[in-house]
Amino acid sequence: MDDTPAPAPEVRFLKILVTVLTGTMIAGLLVIIALFVIRFQQPDLTLPEGISLPDGTEAQAFTQGRDWYAIVTADDHILIFDRDGGQLRQTVRIEATGQ
């Protein structure tokens, strides 16, 4: 016969809590790995091969969307170009606020 005393109810409760926590941490890690895999499978946006800016325009910033890219110029304009043909789609003037 086994003479080992039965564990106290508190110890059994702690064992259950540790087991549940371990399972939760493993499940969370698997979710994070799945999210990384899903995120990195999305197609990345490539930079245009060349950008033709109007004469005298100095670029300060660049941003892009799926079918367009934009250049912020030093003279407070945003030039939005079509990604396919590189044609100027829209020009937006940035107005200064009271400073």
Residue 57 lies in a domain: yes
Domain with 24, as residue range(s), is: 7-42
- Quick check: pTM over 0.75? no
What kind and span of H or E run contains 27?
helix 9-40
Are 81 and 36 within one domain? Answer: no
Are 32 and 54 within one domain? Answer: no
d(CA 90, CA 70): 9
Are 95 and 51 within one domain? Answer: yes
Are 12 and 54 within one domain? Answer: no
| Residue pair 18/25 in contact by the 8 Å Cβ criterion | no
Are 54 and 97 within one domain? Answer: yes
Are 35 and 57 within one domain? Answer: no
From first to last of its 99 residues, what are the pLDDT tens digits of the chain?
A: 567 777 677 888 999 999 999 999 999 999 999 999 888 876 666 777 778 888 888 999 998 888 899 999 998 899 999 888 888 899 999 887 765
Are 61 and 16 within one domain? Answer: no
